[in-house]
Amino acid sequence: MLFSFMLLLAAPSVPILPPAERAAIFKAAGANLVRGKWLICAEDPQAQGATIDEVRDLNSDGRPEAVVSEGGTFCYGAAESGFTLLSKQGN
């Protein structure tokens, strides 16, 4: 008898952020706004742009962290992905 199981993953937590806060997160990750896309690897000729994948308190310190990622083999090689983990500081 065969059983199949489905793994359900919780969707990443990305709240709707004001434009100024989104820009601050991308800038802190080292991204630059180029032709309407936030790019960490601006040299990539086929850049898709960086994304904010998650914003929530990941380490239970009471402050939100943000995960910013960008894909592509030009800058990230065989891994095809790079990410930056940012923590919001009190100052």
Handedness of CA 36, 40, 48, 17 (dihedral sign): negative
pLDDT tens, per residue, the chain with 91 residues: 444 444 444 455 667 899 999 999 999 999 999 989 999 988 888 888 999 999 999 999 999 999 999 988 888 888 888 999 999 887 6
Q: Determine the Cα–Cα distance for residues 51 and 58; give it in Å rounded to an integer.
A: 18
Per-residue pLDDT at 88: 85
Which contacts (CB < 8 Å, 24+ apart) does range 29-38 have?
A: 29/66, 29/68, 29/84, 29/86, 30/84, 31/68, 31/70
